[in-house]
Amino acid sequence: MNYTLHQLMIFQKITETSSITKAAEELHLTQPAVSIQLRNLQEQFDIPLTEVVGRRLVVTDFGWEIAAATEKIIQEVQGINYKTAAFKGLMSGKLKISVVSTGKYVMPYFLAGFLKEHPEVDLKLDVTNKAKVLESLSANEVDFALVSILPDTINVEGVELMPNQLCLVASKDFDLTKKVFDEQVFEDITLIYREEGSGTRLSMERYLNERKVAVRKKIVLTSNEAVKQAVLAGMGCSIMPLIGIKNELKSGELKVVPVKGLPLVTQWNLIYLKGRKFSPVGKLYLDYLEQHKSDLIEKNFS
């Protein structure tokens, strides 16, 4: 057996993504390079690791056995690296954070300084919708989760970071002759929604339901970026977090539509399971937030 750690790491990413293309993207490699390494690894075994069914890559039962062993090997190697760094006097380890999709405009600003101070720390940052964020937190797969609405089904603690304002947003061609609109405006526009499970959608639906607003025309899109592009193109309006559109507001490409009862204000919270025992890296990051949170907010979001 002459397989390498590099091949095993690539195979692990292929099993995670079920796709050579996605694995290549996440590893910052070319697709042919990933395919070659998978083929070289496969040559070490008489039993197939993967199969192609239709156009889809499928990991075989034997492949999953190798993937499980690979994960243990990689964890042991990372443990060696962390111990080496510790003997050099460097703080090392892995920090795993899951972030709701709009949180990608927030979380990097609370991580950049910490990672510069501790270059040996490995960061895994997963950006997805609220339902999947809470699922990974509940399963204890991550250290922290960034959400704008606290869950009522999981017992959590956390750190309040900053307010999250949501406003009705329209393209630059929207007529703003009225100083303030009432809820009737939602019956006259096409309203663009996020997908089910999104915290932004939940806040928007609560607002509309409380005011018994009937939305006649609506579109559902699966990411905040897709919603922003649709609003920019004039397909409709949406209630969106201002944090994700500040550049478009400054340039005049998007407008905030003043409506009674808006903006909605939620709170960005970095949460974790109550009673969780943190690694030294997790504890260090909590201390970093407590010390630098106010300065980071003032510098980046004032």
Instruction: Read off φ and ψ for residue 119, nearest 5 degrees.
Output: -65, -15
Instruction: Read off φ and ψ for residue 268, nearest 5 degrees.
Output: -70, 125
CATH number, domain of 153, equals 3.40.190.10
Containing domain of residue 63, as a range? Answer: 5-86
Closest residue by Cα to residue 95 from 76, 78, 70 = 78
pLDDT tens profile 119-167: 888 899 999 888 889 999 999 889 999 999 899 889 999 999 999 999 9
| Average pLDDT estimate for 186-211 | 90
Please state whether the predicted TM-score (pTM) of the whole model is above 0.85: no
Asked if 101 and 180 sit in the same domain, the reply is no
Asked if 146 and 281 sit in the same domain, the reply is yes
Asked if 80 and 97 sit in the same domain, the reply is no
Q: Domain boundary at 55, 86, 117, which?
A: 86
Asked if 153 and 232 sit in the same domain, the reply is no
Q: Domain boundary at 86, 116, 138, which?
A: 86
Q: Domain boundary at 86, 110, 136, which?
A: 86
- Cα–Cα distance measured from residue 221 to residue 235, given in angstroms and rounded to the nearest whole number: 12
pLDDT tens profile 253-283: 999 999 989 999 999 999 999 988 888 888 8
Within its chain, how far is the Cα of 205 from the centroid?
A: 22
Higher pLDDT, 236 or 3: 236
3-state SS class at 210: helix
- Count how many domains the chain has: 3
Asked if 221 and 155 sit in the same domain, the reply is no
pLDDT tens profile 39-96: 999 999 999 999 988 888 999 999 999 999 998 888 777 777 666 665 555 455 789 9
Look up residue 188 and give its amino acid. D
Asked if 71 and 45 sit in the same domain, the reply is yes
- Cα–Cα distance measured from residue 136 to residue 143, given in angstroms and rounded to the nearest whole number: 10
Give percent of the chain above pLDDT 70. 95
Beta strand pairing call for 121-128 and 93-100: parallel
Model pLDDT, residue 88: 57
